[in-house]
């Protein structure tokens, strides 16, 4: 079954909303900030494309947000923008929420663990604990938006979003829900920066090949990318996800950390054309969600993607980590 894309909400280092991402695609400069990371050999600074969530105050009061951590704020803002964009008609009991995340709310997870190590298990913060639970973003979205359909969070590193897409299609096919609010969310935290730095250093100094990090100069990233999906019989605002499956289309060896191999990230259905857009949103496990939005922007704007091919494309195939997704407009 095809899934109709009715709304999009996106937040990242490029800014907030589809227009900000479109501007970045058109060449508007996206600049990282350099954040300190403490390492065994002193402090280093890593480039990070940070996402701001100030605009969330347009939807929720500051007071109501005080217990909502950065991870959930990213998710909430993406979800609000997608729903606003979709002008949804489905009842809130019939909407499902699916969140995909590589590492979950890592700031609060490590913050909570640190609070136990720094003091004592009895002095751990209950608020930090509640925010460290991986389903917290889906919970916050359900509570704030009053959505009472099923909610799930899928956390399987680089393939989280791909797997979430297949789950969304299953829910719609089986008529468990009438619409799915599907979002990919990842946040940056110092611990992830530290890990990235260590793995990269190991690769450079010790020729370590146990974990293929594919280290590059591309900044680390964070953000959220949300879709409001309905079954195919609805007219789609942006296009359709026509295929979504696991396959052997990716023949290169799997990575266990960030997947930043340019050649695999964004594969078009035009032989010989491969593109990557990591520079716009940064390295993060759920990058595939951003790639799908970028592909939709390109398809809807009828951008000629292949200089050797003058035909406008009506469909694109994206392949990553053994998953294939086909989009149509």
- Of 23, 52, 125, 234, which one interacts with other proteins (CB under 8 A)? 125
Tell me if 253 contacts other proteins by CB under 8 A. no
Residues 86, 187: Cα–Cα separation, whole Å: 25
Tell me if 126 contacts other proteins by CB under 8 A. yes
Tell me if 306 contacts other proteins by CB under 8 A. no
Tell me if 121 contacts other proteins by CB under 8 A. no
Q: Which residue shows structure tokens 């919970």?
A: 139
Residues 319, 329: Cα–Cα separation, whole Å: 18
For residues 156-165, one letter each, b for 16 or more C-beta atoms within 10 angstroms of the residue's C-beta and e for the rest, the string is: ebbbbbbbbb
The H or E element spanning position 42 is strand 42-49
Residue 66 CB, shortest distance to other proteins, in Å, is 4
In the bound state with other proteins, the residue whose beta carbon lies nearer, of 112 and 227, is 112
- Using an 8 Å Cβ cutoff, are 288 and 317 in contact? no
The answer for 324, left when phi > 0, alpha when psi is -120 to 50, beta otherwise, is: beta
Interface region with other proteins, contact rule CB under 8 A, candidates 44-52, 117-125, 208-216, 228-236: 117-125
Tell me if 40 contacts other proteins by CB under 8 A. no
In the bound state with other proteins, the residue whose beta carbon lies nearer, of 76 and 165, is 76
Beta strands (DSSP E) in 197-310 are 220-221, 223-231, 239-246
In the bound state with other proteins, the residue whose beta carbon lies nearer, of 27 and 126, is 126
- Of 39, 119, 247, 302, which one interacts with other proteins (CB under 8 A)? 119
Size of interface with other proteins, in residues (CB under 8 A): 12
- Of 23, 127, 255, 328, which one interacts with other proteins (CB under 8 A)? 127
In the bound state with other proteins, the residue whose beta carbon lies nearer, of 54 and 217, is 54
In this structure, how many other beta carbons lie within 10 angstroms of the beta carbon of residue 27? 7
Q: Which residues pair with 186 in a beta bridge?
A: 223
Q: Which two tokens stand for residue 309?
A: 């091919």
- Of 11, 48, 98, 124, which one interacts with other proteins (CB under 8 A)? 124
Residue 119 CB, shortest distance to other proteins, in Å, is 6
Tell me if 66 contacts other proteins by CB under 8 A. yes
Residues 36, 33: Cα–Cα separation, whole Å: 10
Q: Measure the CA dihedral 35/286/151/83, to 10°.
A: 80
- Of 40, 123, 235, 251, which one interacts with other proteins (CB under 8 A)? 123
Tell me if 62 contacts other proteins by CB under 8 A. yes
In the bound state with other proteins, the residue whose beta carbon lies nearer, of 63 and 175, is 63
Q: Which two tokens stand for residue 227?
A: 């879709």
Residue ranges in contact with other proteins by CB under 8 A: 62-63, 65-67, 119, 122-127
């Amino acid at each position: 079954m095809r899934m109709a894309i009715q709304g999009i909400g996106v937040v990242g280092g490029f800014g907030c909303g589809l227009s900000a991402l479109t501007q970045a695609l058109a060449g508007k400069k996206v600049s990282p900030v350099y954040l300190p990371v403490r390492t065994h050999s002193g402090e280093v600074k890593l480039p990070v494309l940070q996402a701001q969530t100030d605009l969330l105050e347009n939807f929720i009061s500051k007071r109501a947000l005080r217990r909502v951590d950065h991870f959930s704020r990213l998710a909430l803002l993406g979800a609000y923008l997608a729903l606003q964009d979709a002008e949804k008609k489905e009842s809130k009991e019939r909407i499902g929420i699916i969140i995909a995340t590589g590492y979950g709310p890592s700031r609060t997870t490590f913050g909570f663990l640190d609070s136990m190590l720094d003091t004592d298990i009895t002095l751990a913060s209950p608020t930090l604990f509640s925010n460290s639970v991986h389903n917290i973003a889906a919970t916050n979205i359900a509570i704030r938006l009053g959505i009472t359909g099923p909610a799930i969070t899928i956390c399987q590193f680089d393939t989280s979003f791909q797997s979430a897409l297949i789950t969304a299609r299953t829910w719609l096919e089986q008529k468990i829900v009438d619409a799915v609010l599907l979002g990919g969310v990842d946040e940056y935290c110092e611990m992830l920066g530290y890990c990235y730095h260590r793995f990269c250093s190991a690769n450079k100094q010790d020729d370590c090949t146990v974990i293929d990090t594919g280290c590059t100069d591309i900044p680390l990233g964070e953000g959220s990318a949300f879709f409001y999906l309905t079954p195919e019989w609805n007219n789609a605002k942006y296009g359709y996800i026509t295929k979504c499956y696991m396959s052997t289309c990716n023949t290169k060896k799997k990575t266990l950390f960030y997947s930043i191999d340019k050649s695999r990230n964004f594969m078009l259905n035009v032989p010989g054309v491969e593109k990557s857009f990591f520079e716009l949103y940064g390295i993060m496990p759920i990058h595939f969600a951003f790639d799908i939005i970028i592909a939709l922007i390109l398809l809807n704007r009828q951008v000629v993607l292949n200089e050797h091919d003058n035909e406008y494309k009506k469909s694109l195939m994206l392949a990553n980590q053994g998953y294939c997704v086909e989009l149509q407009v």
